[in-house]
Amino acid sequence: MSSTGGDGRRTQGERSAATVAKLIQATIQAIVDVGYAGATTREICDRAGVSQGGLFRHFPTRRDLIVATLVHLYEHRLTDLETRLSPDLGGATAKQIAAQLRIARDLVRDPLNMVFVEVVMASRTEPDLRAGLVPLLERSDRELMAIVGRNPVVARLSDTSRRVWLDFVQQVIWIEALWATSLPEREYDDLKINALIRLLFVLAETTPGPSR
């Protein structure tokens, strides 16, 4: 049932939610287009069609808006990742795991994920921003571990080995994403995925089949 009044007008809560959604989408697009430093509150407000006073009524600081934007983006991207991986997560052959890794790599290479990269890099010199991101990063770590742990080969790993392997996977595909636009090395993409698979089976003390 709609919560709008009988005259079709939106409630205060609906108007507030709509404003927040516009600000978050404007923040994402601003960082994609002009980078984290260029995504000032004025730039974001201009894109969203919201006054700076309106922004600060919902987000007391720019940091609060940035963190909320990353939480929103993370939740949608995690859902997308899980949806795409779920049909194949039970696959235990090297070929099936390679397909899963390619899905993850393609999602990370999406320009929207550069929002994460830029903000996390900026947090190195902004302690307040870094503190605001810690809960999200810890949550991401737990939830990604839970997703990959549903693969039967990964499930055989010890907690430490699973952590090590997931770290290697993330570091490889995120660094690839950083270099992909300026120095692409597509000829090595499958070789790196095969190396990650070999490492997985070594850690699991099993022998992989062909990955292609």
- Digits of tens for pLDDT over the chain (212 positions)? 344 555 567 788 889 999 999 999 999 999 999 999 999 999 999 999 999 999 999 999 999 999 999 999 999 999 999 999 888 788 889 999 999 999 999 988 888 888 998 999 999 999 999 999 999 999 999 999 999 999 999 999 999 999 999 999 999 998 888 887 667 777 888 899 999 999 999 999 865 555 55
How many of the other CB atoms lie within 10 Å of CB of 79?
A: 10
Q: Are 58 and 19 in contact (CB under 8 A)?
A: yes
CB burial class (10 A; 0-12, 13-18, 19+) of residue 181?
Answer: exposed
How many of the other CB atoms lie within 10 Å of CB of 84?
A: 14
Domains and CATH numbers, the chain: 9-60 (1.10.10.60), 63-204 (1.10.357)
Query: Which residues 6+ apart lie within 8 Å of 157 measured at CB?
Result: 165, 200, 203, 204
How many of the other CB atoms lie within 10 Å of CB of 73?
A: 21
- The reported pTM is 0.83
Residues 107 and 152: their CA atoms lie apart, in Å, by 22
